[in-house]
């Protein structure tokens, strides 16, 4: 009987353990299901939300702030097939010729009187360089040491000369200096984000070339103006990103000349893929795609949040650990690489607000003068003057606060979750925001009212709080 009782006790223990294991399994499944539901809910919210700036916020904005959003967007107010894989790219970078290429590039830069320390910082301002130094900087940024694709330097020099000539000198902002500035931005982001780990040679080369040509031929007028006035570019491209389509066409017109064919070393299939990358990247510099790009970045984060959060933790502990191998595998996926190519060019294109204020202020003055010149033309032609283009009404400081608040910061905040090195750019952006706010307080004539001061102070504080919360 004692044995029978022991057997019964063992059976009871087994039943209890089974119940406990079953309960644990159920609990794990429930926890997993909750995570899945949360992720789906986050993805659904991103997909369903039509605007990053919600309707309630828009309704509460003043005319100047709505003008910023519409003005910078240019709207009216009311899978890679590569023969070379990633490993072969890495081996090519490590080829013995790499050292020779880098030495030659460094010598060229130094002979032009440029400092490598300057080129490898965010303190470079092409507006402060002469023609020869800008040419040397451009050669360095697109040089083979940055991507591993060889080219004839004489052909590249001819390509750069033709491209420079294609930019309109009288345009205050979208000129050759801006092209060098954005190419420098792409060059820096490729390094800061360790893109050699997940973007192959051809993608990096295509991206740098796209930066050089991304605004070539820009007349200093935005797409809305071209469409409103039935400009020949709007007619040619059926009102769909007429400027960006023209920039792409110019690029490939230039390389169709053998003396400027910087893609001559590529096979037919490689050229076709490079062409696709250039076109996609340049077309997405149209600010009409800005908020859709933010959603793409947010979606990528939500789908891969566990991997990306872990990668960010490693970065916070040791920046040299970015990106983790798991993050690299995520970034190497075809759709991820396609997003990164257009994201990096667009981010570099709007990066002035993330640079030292001395440089940020100069470029802000240039873009506003271009807007004002367009406003003058609109007034002469009797077409509606876009709100950000009226030199008699726009407050320069407020326009820059709005640009950061409504356009730059939503993208920067989203990118930080994917690429944590962006935190330093976000920190500079917030500092610039506060400087614009301070200069608004001292320079605005007549002085702003107490209510206006309080409202703007709250907006600035709210954005700074969001950044602090995101990066803590």
**Is residue 174 flagged as an active site residue?**
yes
**Distance in angstroms (rounded) separating the CA atoms of residues 373 and 173:** 11
Q: From the candidates 135, 174, 284, 425, give the one annotated as an active-site residue.
A: 174
**Distance in angstroms (rounded) separating the CA atoms of residues 90 and 84:** 10
In terms of C-beta density within 10 A (0-12 exposed, 13-18 middle, 19 or more buried), how is residue 433 classed?
buried
Task: Tell me how far apart the terminal alpha carbons of the chain are, to the nearest angstrom.
Answer: 66
Alpha helices by DSSP H, listed for 260-418, are: 268-283, 290-303, 305-317, 325-331, 334-349, 357-381, 396-402, 409-418
Cα angle 34, 37, 43; round to 5: 140
**Distance in angstroms (rounded) separating the CA atoms of residues 114 and 386:** 40
Cα dihedral across residues 406, 71, 424, 428: positive or negative = negative
Residue 314: closest CA among 303, 328, 300 = 328
**Distance in angstroms (rounded) separating the CA atoms of residues 29 and 333:** 28
Alpha helices by DSSP H, listed for 80-126, are: 86-93, 96-111, 116-119
Helix orientation angle between 450-471 and 422-443, rounded to the nearest 10 degrees: 170
Residue 115: closest CA among 78, 140, 90 = 140
**Distance in angstroms (rounded) separating the CA atoms of residues 152 and 132:** 19
Helix, strand, or coil here: 128?
helix
Q: Which two tokens stand for residue 349?
A: 């294109």
**Distance in angstroms (rounded) separating the CA atoms of residues 372 and 394:** 9
Residues catalogued as catalytic:
174
């Amino acid at each position: 009987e004692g044995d029978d009782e022991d057997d019964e006790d063992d059976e009871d223990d087994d039943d209890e353990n089974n119940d406990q294991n079953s309960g644990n399994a159920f609990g794990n499944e429930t926890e997993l299901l909750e995570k899945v539901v949360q992720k789906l809910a986050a993805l659904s919210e991103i997909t369903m939300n039509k605007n990053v700036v919600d309707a309630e916020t828009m309704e509460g904005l003043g005319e100047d702030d709505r003008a910023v959003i519409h003005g910078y967007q240019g709207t009216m107010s009311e899978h890679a097939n590569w023969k070379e894989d990633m490993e072969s790219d890495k081996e090519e970078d490590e080829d013995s010729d790499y050292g020779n290429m880098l030495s030659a590039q460094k010598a060229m830069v130094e002979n032009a009187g440029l400092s490598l320390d300057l080129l490898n910082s965010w303190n470079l301002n092409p507006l402060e360089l002469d023609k020869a130094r800008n040419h040397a900087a451009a050669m360095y940024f697109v040089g083979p040491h940055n991507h591993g694709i060889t080219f004839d330097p004489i052909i590249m020099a001819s390509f750069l000369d033709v491209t420079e000539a294609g930019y309109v000198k009288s345009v205050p902002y979208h000129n050759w200096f801006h092209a060098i500035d954005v190419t420098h931005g792409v060059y820096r982001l490729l390094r800061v984000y360790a893109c050699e780990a997940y973007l192959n040679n051809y993608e990096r080369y295509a991206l740098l070339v796209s930066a050089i040509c991304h605004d070539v031929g820009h007349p200093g007028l935005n797409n809305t103006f071209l469409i409103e006035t039935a400009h020949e570019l709007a007619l040619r491209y059926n009102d769909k990103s007429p400027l960006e389509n023209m920039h792409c066409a110019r690029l490939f017109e230039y390389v169709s000349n053998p003396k400027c064919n910087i893609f001559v070393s590529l096979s037919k299939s490689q050229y076709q893929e490079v062409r696709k990358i250039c076109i996609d990247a340049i077309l997405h510099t149209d600010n009409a795609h800005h908020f859709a790009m933010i959603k793409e970045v947010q979606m990528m984060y939500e789908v891969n949040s566990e991997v990306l959060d872990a990668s960010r933790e490693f970065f916070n502990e040791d920046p040299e650990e970015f990106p983790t191998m798991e993050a690299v595998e995520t970034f190497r996926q075809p759709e991820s690489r396609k997003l990164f190519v257009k994201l990096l060019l667009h981010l570099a294109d709007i990066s002035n607000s993330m640079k030292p204020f001395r440089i940020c202020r100069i470029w802000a003055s240039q873009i506003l003068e271009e807007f004002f010149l367009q406003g003058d033309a609109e007034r002469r032609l009797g077409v509606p003057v876009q709100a950000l283009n009226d030199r008699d009404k726009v407050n320069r400081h407020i326009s820059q606060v709005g640009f950061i608040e409504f356009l730059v910061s939503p993208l920067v905040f989203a990118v930080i979750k994917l690429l944590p090195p962006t935190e330093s750019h976000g920190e500079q952006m917030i500092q610039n925001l506060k400087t614009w706010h301070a200069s608004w307080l001292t320079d605005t004539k007549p002085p702003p009212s107490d209510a206006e001061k309080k409202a703007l102070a709250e907006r600035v504080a709210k954005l700074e709080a969001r950044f602090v919360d995101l990066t803590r």
